[in-house]
Amino acid sequence: MAIQRCFCGSAISFDKCCQPIVLGLQKATTAEALMRSRYVAYVVQDADYLIATTAPSHRRYYAREDILSWATQNQWQRLKIVNVTPTTVAFKAYYLDSDKQLQVHHEHSRFVFENGEWFYLDGDYFET
Ligand SMILES: [Zn+2]
């Protein structure tokens, strides 16, 4: 049986890469690992995970229904990591919109390590 590579585009199988993180069995150990798992959460439409991994101080800026509609109205194609620092990740997420047009979400995200866990803080978006 073929091993399913992780949706985040790593060479690792899904069940050893982002799946245990999204399921809450493991913590993301780096900002990049958290970012990858959050992309996967969009693929599998897990809005609760996306809220849980947003910094508590910033959760009020993100509505669950907005996250869920953004996750479900698009077909997520692939993730490309552009640049990584210990607390930031620049990436491009490719998706088909509701008109089946290929779009690119280009974001420079910031992360924070609080109480032993990585959280998403916010991001800048770029026109592509
Ligand atoms: Zn992964």
pLDDT band of residue 128 (cuts 50, 70, 90) is: low
Mean pLDDT of 34-38: 98
Mean pLDDT of 74-101: 97
Contact 41, 22 (CB under 8 A): yes
Nearest CA to 36 among 65, 63, 9, 2?
Answer: 9
Distance 119 CA to ligand 1 centre (A): 17
Is it the case that residue 40 has pLDDT exceeding 90? yes
Position 126 scores a pLDDT of: 86
Mean pLDDT of 35-47: 97
What confidence tens digit (pLDDT) does each residue in 64-76 have?
999 999 999 999 9
Distance 12 CA to ligand 1 centre (A): 7
Distance 65 CA to ligand 1 centre (A): 24
C-alpha span between 88 and 111 (Å, rounded): 6
What residue type is assigned to position 66 of the chain?
D
- Vertex 67 angle, CA 122 and 121, to 5°: 15
Is it the case that residue 14 has pLDDT exceeding 60? yes
pLDDT band of residue 2 (cuts 50, 70, 90) is: low
Distance 123 CA to ligand 1 centre (A): 20
pLDDT band of residue 1 (cuts 50, 70, 90) is: low
Segment holding 73, helix H or strand E: helix 64-73
Distance 6 CA to ligand 1 centre (A): 5
